Amino acid sequence: MVRVEHVMGMPVVVEARDGDVPDEVFDWLRRVDETFSTYKDGSEISRLRRGELDEADASDDVRWVLRRCRELRDETAGYFDIDAVGLDPSGYVKGWAVERAAAILDRAGSSDYAINAGGDVRTRGRWRIGIQHPFESQAVAKVVEGDDLAIATSGAYERGEHVRDPHTGAAPAGILSVTVTGPDLATADAYATAAYAMGPRRAIDWTARLRGYEALTILADGRVLATPGFPSVD
């Protein structure tokens, strides 16, 4: 069964090869949007931004997410920074929400599914996932195959998001996209965002040193650099 819905400002595709996709999955994602959206005035994040709510009084989920985001800021030398322009944890929330949606499918008994939320992909079972080619809309640059994958890509061609170097405020140059795969989708997304913001030289060096996560970086000069464990086909 395949279900597609527009949630959290993006199309979310959930495909289960071994059964139904329960309503609970999309109910959860809509609830996340109500809580974390920076576009909804009544969301906890909007209230935090306006100073109407103290972080200490926020819900458990919000406090947990914000704490994890700050850990990631330290892990990424400040390149993943949710406080750079107001408070905006969206870059983490997407992957986190998808991981929790995956847990709902696990509990419903599915063991062969894939979830794609605006380019962040989580799979259970064996799947083949393409990595978007930076120039050719109908092509992929690489194919990844594996069991239980979490794959996130940050790049020059993302719509709506504005990845900038939080240190300089400048858009990165020389790098087209960074794809990160590993055990946790939200962490993979934060790493991809951070590496992309670093620009080519630093990104390559930094991704080569990641532990437990693999990366594939596409540079503007056409070079594709991958960590040896990156699960690409061929």
Partner 1 sequence: MHRSITAAVGAVVIALPVANAAAAAKKKVITSTKTVTGPQAVADRWGYIQITLVVKKTTTIVGKHKKVTRKITNVGVPVYPNHTDRSVFINEQALPYLTQEVLQAQFNPNISMISGATATSFAFEQSLQAAILQAEKV
Q: What does the binding site for partner 1 look like in residue numbers (CB under 8 A)?
A: 13, 15, 114, 116, 118-121, 123, 127-144, 151-153, 155-162, 171, 173-174, 176-177, 179, 200-201, 204-205, 207-209, 218-228, 230
Q: Closer CB to partner 1, residue 35 or residue 230? A: 230
In the complex, what is the shortest distance from the CB of residue 93 to partner 1, in angstroms, rounded to a whole number? 16
State in angstroms the smallest separation of the CB of 204 from partner 1. 6
138: left (phi over 0), alpha (psi -120 to 50) or beta: alpha
76 or 116: whose CB is closer to partner 1?
116
Give whichever of 104 and 141 is closer to partner 1, judged by the CB atom: 141
Instruction: Judge whether 114 and 15 are in contact, CB under 8 Å.
Output: yes
| Distance between CA atoms of residues 86 and 77, nearest Å | 19
Complex with partner 1: residue 64 or 157, whichever CB lies closer? 157
Provide the minimum distance between the beta carbon of 13 and partner 1 in the complex, in angstroms, as a whole number.
7
Residue 107: CB minimum distance to partner 1, A: 22
Angular region, 169: left φ>0, alpha ψ -120 to 50, beta rest: left
Q: In whole angstroms, how close is the CB of 211 to partner 1 at the nearest point?
A: 12
- Please enumerate in sequence order all residues whose Cβ is within 8 A of that of 118, keeping only pairs 6 or more positions apart, or say none: 8, 9, 10, 11, 12, 94
Q: Are 45 and 87 in contact (CB under 8 A)?
A: yes
Say if CB 183 and CB 229 are below 8 A apart. no
CA angle 230, 82, 169 (to 5 degrees): 90
Taking the least distance from each CB to partner 1, the nearer of 103 and 173 is 173
Min. distance of Cβ 154 from partner 1 in angstroms? 8
- Beta strand 113-117 with 10-16 is antiparallel
75 vs 112, beta carbon nearer partner 1 = 112
What 8-state DSSP symbol labels residue 137?
A: T
